[in-house]
């Protein structure tokens, strides 16, 4: 059976550096940092006092107060970026077979804020279980694609992929595979996350995972810099409309790029630490290349996982050198997390969007906040430090690695008939 | 309007996002005010909190309109 081809026909983004795709892209190529002191709760007692928060998002204005209070922020974000993508793709669902349109969404955690609020409320009481009836349906990680399907009446396959920070790469790969197999005509896919609250920051702080550069939040996310000291928490959502090529052509859709491959692997090593030799990371990049029928020399750009942690960044560089060999010197590498922070379950989605726009515009967004070279890294590797670079980008790869040792990598290509 | 009735009305306006003028005694939570089953459970919980009463499930099932809520609370809330 011959696989069908899959193309990207719509994008939506709600990020710490822009609430729409054009704003996001403009910030990416101009090296804008989204990090600042946290506004959503009192950080006085917290080791890390900053994050990459979404700015100026008005949930009540977007959803109406009645619906907004029934939705955890990770769902509000999902609906917001999806509205942009649906409009961008020019979708009129009344004219389409909605039983052949699905939603596969990624979220690493789900409604953490809802969980926190409800449990705190219970703990303050006398032990009588007075839980709000919306507690569970607001919190569960699968509720975002549920709400997207309800809003647009989409009755195709519908679920959430949960693999921590690889979640939305997994959602893209699942959607890609179902489309290749002819199981649906279109997927709304991507991911969202909203963990900038007391439980999220406190929990990641306890793991020593977050940067504590409280004297200079804007430069705290510095992947591959000698003085990197942890990741910066981010939040938001990214939506990608994936569509079977024939369906897209038939409705005259605008085509951003073709999705050509997805790879998945596991480290099988440790709960949170990556494999020190980048074994899982190397495997996943090779798996994606093989799936796409490409060789390492075909890749122009790798949007890396690159979270700015002391142990995570080196293993990914090792993995890239293992997977790409000498070609590692000819590709551009960048970590857009230097600007957005780490959107966890939404990272794969917003970074896939960055990769797709790099292809479309022939510009590599930079790895900002680079001050000091780390001698551990081969100086011949081009990390695209500090400023965007123009280059023809035919094929781009985007990596996501999650706690639990989950790895997922996706490949996009300039669309050609 | 009694004190209880005006407090009930305020809760309904807040939770269901409806206009005050729609909250008439005859108005049904589900048929007229757009509540689903979860909204109805939440409303009962809010009444319990506001008036410091416990409304047993079998009683809660008999409260389907604004007037029924006010009547129940006027009977069961200690002045």
Q: What is the pLDDT of residues B22-58, one digit of tens each?
A: 999 999 999 999 999 999 999 999 999 999 999 999 9
Residue A13 in this model has a pLDDT that exceeds 70: yes
Bridge partner residues of A303 (DSSP): A334, A398
Contact between A106 and A168 (Cβ < 8 Å): yes
How do A50-51 and A158-161 pair as beta strands? unpaired
Nearest to B17 among A64, A130, A133 (CB): A64
Nearest to A65 among B17, B48, B49 (CB): B17
The length of chain A is 417
Whether chain A has a CB inside 8 Å of the CB on B38: the answer is yes
Tell me the average pLDDT across A114-122: 97
Dist. CA B59–CA A110, nearest whole Å: 35
The DSSP 8-state label assigned to residue A373 in this structure reads B
Dist. CA A85–CA A193, nearest whole Å: 17
Find chain A residues with C-beta within 8 A of B42's C-beta: 132-134
Whether chain A has a CB inside 8 Å of the CB on B17: the answer is yes
Average pLDDT, chain A: 97
Which pLDDT does position A217 carry in this prediction?
A: 98
Contact between A326 and A358 (Cβ < 8 Å): no
Whether chain A has a CB inside 8 Å of the CB on B36: the answer is no
**Chain A interface, Cβ < 8 Å to B:** 64-67, 130, 132-134, 137
Q: What is the pLDDT of residues A294-306, one digit of tens each?
A: 999 999 999 999 9
Q: What is the pLDDT of residues A247-296, one digit of tens each?
A: 999 999 999 999 999 999 999 999 999 999 999 999 999 999 999 999 99
CB atoms within 10 A of CB A124: 7
**pLDDT band (50, 70, 90) for residue B11:** very high
Contact between A411 and A298 (Cβ < 8 Å): no
Cα dihedral A23, A28, A33, A35, rounded to 10, equals 70
**pLDDT band (50, 70, 90) for residue A66:** confident
The percent of residues above 70 in pLDDT, for chain A, comes to: 100
Which pLDDT does position B14 carry in this prediction?
A: 92
The percent of residues above 90 in pLDDT, for chain A, comes to: 98
- Predicted structure pTM score: 0.96
Residue B78 in this model has a pLDDT that exceeds 80: no
Residue A168 in this model has a pLDDT that exceeds 90: yes
Find chain B residues with C-beta within 8 A of A132's C-beta: 42, 45
Q: What is the pLDDT of residues A149-167, one digit of tens each?
A: 999 999 999 999 999 999 9
Residue A333 in this model has a pLDDT that exceeds 90: yes
Q: What is the 3-state secondary structure (H, E, C) of A10-53?
A: EEEEEECCECCHHHHHHHHHCCCCCCEECCCCCCCCCCCCEEEC
**Torsion region of A64: left, alpha or beta (phi above 0 gives left; psi -120 to 50 gives alpha):** left
Using only the alpha carbons of chain B, give its radius of gyration. 11
Residue B1 in this model has a pLDDT that exceeds 80: no
Point out the least confidently predicted range of A124-128, A322-326, A384-388: A124-128
Active site residues of A: 165, 305, 342
Collapse the DSSP code of A265 into the 3-class scheme (helix H, G, I; strand E, B; otherwise coil) and give the result: strand
User: How many whole angstroms from its chain centre is CA A71?
Assistant: 21
A:B CB pairs within 8 Å: 18
Find chain B residues with C-beta within 8 A of A133's C-beta: 38, 41-42, 45
Q: What six digits make up the tokens of A322?
A: 């293992």
For A45-85, strand residue ranges (E) read: 50-51
3-state helix, strand, coil in chain A (%, to 5): 40, 20, 40
Q: Which CATH class is domain B1-74?
A: mainly alpha
Which pLDDT does position A398 carry in this prediction?
A: 98
Residue A200 in this model has a pLDDT that exceeds 70: yes
Burial class of A408 by CB neighbour count within 10 A (0 to 12, 13 to 18, 19+)? buried
Domains of chain A as residue ranges with CATH: 6-250 (3.40.47.10), 261-413 (3.40.47.10)
Whether chain A has a CB inside 8 Å of the CB on B42: the answer is yes
Element of type H or E holding A244: strand A236-244
**pLDDT band (50, 70, 90) for residue B79:** low
Residue A143 in this model has a pLDDT that exceeds 70: yes
Task: List chain B domain ranges.
Answer: 1-74
The DSSP 8-state label assigned to residue A293 in this structure reads T
Q: Complex ipTM, two decimals?
A: 0.84
Residue A104 in this model has a pLDDT that exceeds 90: yes
Dist. CA A237–CA A78, nearest whole Å: 6
Whether chain A has a CB inside 8 Å of the CB on B69: the answer is no
Contact between A157 and A178 (Cβ < 8 Å): yes
């Amino acid at each position: 059976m011959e696989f069908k081809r899959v193309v990207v026909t719509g994008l939506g983004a709600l990020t710490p550096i822009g609430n729409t795709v054009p704003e996001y892209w403009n910030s990416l190529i101009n090296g804008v940092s989204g990090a600042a002191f946290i506004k959503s709760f009192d950080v006085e007692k917290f080791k890390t006092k900053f994050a990459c928060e979404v700015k100026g998002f008005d949930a009540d204005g977007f959803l109406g107060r009645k619906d907004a209070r029934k939705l955890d922020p990770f769902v509000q974000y999902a609906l917001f970026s999806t509205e942009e993508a649906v409009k961008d793709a020019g979708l009129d669902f009344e004219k389409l077979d909605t039983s052949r349109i699905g939603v596969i969404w990624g979220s690493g955690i789900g409604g953490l804020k809802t969980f926190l609020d409800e449990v705190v409320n219970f703990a303050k009481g006398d032990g009588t279980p007075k839980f709000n009836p919306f507690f569970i349906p607001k919190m569960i990680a699968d509720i975002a694609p549920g709400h997207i399907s309800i809003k647009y009446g989409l009755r195709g396959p519908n679920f959430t992929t949960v693999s921590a920070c690889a979640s939305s790469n997994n959602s893209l790969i699942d959607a890609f595979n179902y489309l290749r197999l002819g199981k649906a005509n279109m997927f709304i896919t991507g991911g969202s996350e909203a963990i900038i609250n007391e439980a999220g920051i406190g929990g990641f702080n306890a793991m020593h995972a977050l940067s504590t550069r409280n004297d200079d939040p804007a430069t705290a996310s510095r992947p591959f810099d000698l003085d990197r000291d942890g990741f910066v928490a981010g939040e938001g959502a990214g939506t990608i409309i994936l569509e079977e090529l024939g369906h897209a052509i038939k409705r005259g859709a605008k085509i951003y790029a073709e999705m050509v491959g997805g790879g998945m692997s596991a480290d099988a090593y440790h709960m949170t630490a990556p494999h020190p030799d980048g074994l899982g990371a190397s495997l996943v990049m090779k798996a994606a290349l093989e799936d796409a029928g490409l060789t390492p020399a075909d890749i122009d750009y790798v949007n890396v996982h690159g979270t700015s942690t002391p142990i995570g960044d080196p293993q990914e560089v090792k993995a890239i050198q293992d997977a790409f060999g000498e070609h590692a010197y000819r590709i551009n590498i960048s970590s857009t997390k230097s600007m957005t922070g780490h959107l966890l379950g939404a990272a794969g989605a917003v970074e896939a969007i960055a990769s797709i726009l790099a292809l479309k515009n022939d510009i590599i967004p930079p790895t900002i906040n680079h001050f000091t070279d780390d001698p551990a890294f081969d100086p011949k590797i081009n990390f695209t430090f500090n400023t965007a670079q123009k280059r023809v980008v035919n094929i781009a790869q985007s990596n996501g690695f999650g706690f639990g040792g989950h790895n997922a990598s996706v490949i996009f290509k300039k669309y050609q008939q | 309007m009694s004190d209880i009735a005006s407090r009930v009305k305020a809760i309904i306006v807040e939770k269901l996002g409806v206009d005050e003028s729609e909250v008439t005694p005859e108005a049904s939570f589900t048929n007229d005010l757009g509540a689903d089953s979860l909204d109805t459970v939440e409303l009962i919980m809010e009444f319990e909190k506001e008036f410091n009463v416990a409304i047993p499930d079998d009683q809660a099932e008999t409260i389907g309109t604004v007037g029924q809520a006010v009547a129940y609370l006027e009977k069961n809330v200690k002045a």
